[in-house]
Amino acid sequence: MIEEKSKKIYIEEANELLISLESSLLVLEDDPTDNSNIELVFRVMHTLKGNSSMFGVAVVSEFVHDLETIYDKIRTGTLELTKEILDSTLVSLDHLKIIIQDTTLENAENKENHYRLIKQNNALIDNETTSIKSEPILNSEEQLNSFHIYFAPSITILKNGFNVLYLLSELSEIGKTSVLPFIKQLNELTEFDPIDCICSWDIIIETTQTSKEILDLFVFVKEDAKIEINELKCVDLVSNKEFKKIIEESFYQEEKIELSEILQHAKTFGKSIEIKKTEEVLALPLSKNDDHKKKSKKKSVTSIRVSSDKLDELMNLVSELVTTQAGLSLFSEKNKIQELEGVTENVEKLTRRLRDISFGMTLLPINTMFLRFQRMVRDTSDVLGKEVDFITEGGDTELDKTIIETLTDPLMHVIRNSLDHGIETREERLKKGKTAKGKLLLKAYYSGVFVYIQIIDDGKGMDPAVIRSKAIENGLITEEDHLSEKEIFNLIFYPGFSTASVVTDVSGRGVGMDVVKQNITDLKGTILVESKLNEGTSLTIKLPLTLSIIDGLLIDLDGVKYIVPVSVITKCYEVQNEDMCNNFNKLLLLDGEQVPFINLREEFGYKKLDTGYSQLIVVSDEENSVGISVDFIVGQYQAVIKPLGSYFRKQDFVSGATILGDGSIALVLDTHKIIELYVEQIKTEV
């Protein structure tokens, strides 16, 4: 019996392993010959088996053992990876997810499934194909051999942080070497960058290692360098002092020695040289085994488990540290003590680094969520009999873990809707002249202090007329209501609204979109639907990066401090207030370009100034640039963004607040909303 606590750890780990298994299997489905993935599957299964026996969960370890055997056979080529095997493995995974909770098979249904699957898997094991690969011939002879290695790293290799000398010394550790450097033509000294690598090397080495083992030494630079290894069937070239001398003298300062030349010189010493093989390594994928080694090396240090409470606490402390540091900076600025200023500057630097690292820790790539959908899309489209290409973009976009958790269910729902109601069946699509396979795109990206998540399908789209009549039927609107297309599409977020006339297993009960909207609103996000009949639907979710620290510009407006995120600012100008007041077009001519602007004093209801100067900060989003006028710019500021709370939910222009060094509060401006407002103003004026 496992203790409660270790059981929890076991289940957590097992679930993680199962998720990674699932994603690898899905990749394999597309490309069954992907050896590195078969390796991965096998390895993960092996880990799972090991974990299970360590925790004494025999049911799981025995079950996984069979699976492992299958993939071991596939790995060694005695078994072919068929769809049958993949399907069976996926079903087995589902079963594993259940039995890791029910380790004694108390549930009768589980028990039945368990033995059925074991039988099924065993049948697969015996189903060996005849395509048995020949055993790899092992060359265990420890024979001294000579190689000629040409090694030309790319010019940027030093910038990438690699020390070439280490490599050379490593080479000399495995045998006797003769290293001949070559320095390329130098540029003018003025153009010369001291961290460019302008050297290449010819190395002749005498070693007992095989060429593959030598190649292993270069594993970390293979992308960054041109490497050639030629085996010289010759024993003691480097030990021969005279040969060494001649080679070194005649080829000093010559780029890449031709093999024939080495041969020639060797001949003069009466050595019979035959070149066994030439191995071009440039852009050659490493063999399976090397890949394996590299990955397992990385694996052992990739992650440790930390409770999320501790991380949250760390975040809070860092936030407080940033605020405190701002106070210190303010104090040091006032007092002008040189030593204090030095220390303060260091503290600021350290704080900034600490901030970046700790915030990076709590963020998860959105990919963790995307992977879960992959499986769901596969299963759902199978059930519905539709063919769907599921594409994800921007999986490396990082979000707070809690946001990802909250988003999973709503996104799942939206994707299910797209599959069920959006994308048509193969026949329907062909009739419409579309590709047979539907396309579903899931995309995530940052913009300013927001993150956007889009779900786009190329299905049948939504008909505003249908939604309208349905809404009238449901009593959401009346015949007299005239709504814009946008407003009509927004109706789908009302509780109890569903246009699907048939309720299917997958979706269509009309509970859901309102919950989706609620979830997004809870995260202080917005959701926007766009749709074209027969062309598809796109759904855009926009979320503020609530828990974050941004680099901002601290500005002053009538004594109130505001923060503008530096990321959206394109330029700052000084303008005369007079120019802004007598301006009907709301356009200023700056740097020969007309810049639309918003007078924030006017917009926020402060007294307008008609003399003196203001600062105009030009901010932009993907499409528009707008200048916003402020009294003056105080300086740069690291702002810990704190939510304003539910009381300001309807507040448009401020996305959060931050605490300044003196303890007062500055408001973080949401420039996107300001640009939106500007665009709307233009529209209404037209």
Residues in the site for another protein, rule: CB under 8 A? 319-320, 323, 560-561, 603-605, 642-654, 657, 659, 663-667
- Virtual torsion, Cα 382, 385, 388, 392, nearest 10 deg: -30
Judged by CB, which is closer to another protein: 581, or 665?
A: 665
Judged by CB, which is closer to another protein: 179, or 654?
A: 654
Q: Which of 471, 461, 466 is nearest to 530 (CA)?
A: 461
- Tokens representing 194 are 């001291």
Q: Tell the residue number behind the tokens 């450097």, with chain if given.
A: 181
CB of 639 to another protein, least distance (A): 12
CA distances from 225 to 154, 165, 176 (A): 5, 14, 23
Residue type, 403: I
Q: Which of 41, 104, 99 is nearest to 75 (CA)?
A: 41
Judged by CB, which is closer to another protein: 158, or 674?
A: 674
CB of 628 to another protein, least distance (A): 12
Judged by CB, which is closer to another protein: 161, or 605?
A: 605
The distance of Cα 508 from the centroid of its chain, to the nearest Å, equals 33
Distance CA 180, CA 255 (A): 9
Judged by CB, which is closer to another protein: 659, or 675?
A: 659
3-class DSSP state of 572: strand
CB of 670 to another protein, least distance (A): 11
Distance CA 389, CA 483 (A): 34
Contact yes or no for 654/563 (Cβ under 8 A):
no
Contact yes or no for 60/103 (Cβ under 8 A):
yes
What are the helix and strand counts (H, E) for the chain? Answer: 21, 22
The neighbour count for residue 326, using CB atoms within 10 Å, is: 23
CB of 546 to another protein, least distance (A): 12
Q: Which of 543, 528, 515 is nearest to 456 (CA)?
A: 528
* Sign of the dihedral through C-alpha 434, 435, 438, 443: negative
Judged by CB, which is closer to another protein: 168, or 560?
A: 560
CB of 638 to another protein, least distance (A): 15
- Element spanning 610, H or E: none
Judged by CB, which is closer to another protein: 214, or 553?
A: 553
CB of 173 to another protein, least distance (A): 56
CB of 523 to another protein, least distance (A): 14
CB of 656 to another protein, least distance (A): 8
CB of 659 to another protein, least distance (A): 5
3-class DSSP state of 148: strand
Judged by CB, which is closer to another protein: 50, or 643?
A: 643
Strands (E), 498-535: 526-532
CB of 109 to another protein, least distance (A): 37
Judged by CB, which is closer to another protein: 513, or 667?
A: 667
Contacts of 205 (CB under 8 A, 6+ apart): 146, 147, 149, 171, 174, 175, 176, 177, 178, 214, 238
Distance CA 386, CA 389 (A): 10
Judged by CB, which is closer to another protein: 365, or 661?
A: 661
Judged by CB, which is closer to another protein: 15, or 526?
A: 526
Distance CA 658, CA 640 (A): 6
Judged by CB, which is closer to another protein: 496, or 645?
A: 645
Q: Which of 627, 609, 613, 605 is nearest to 675 (CA)?
A: 627
Contacts of 178 (CB under 8 A, 6+ apart): 203, 204, 205, 238, 244, 247, 248
- Tokens representing 23 are 């994603």
CB of 108 to another protein, least distance (A): 40
CB of 648 to another protein, least distance (A): 6
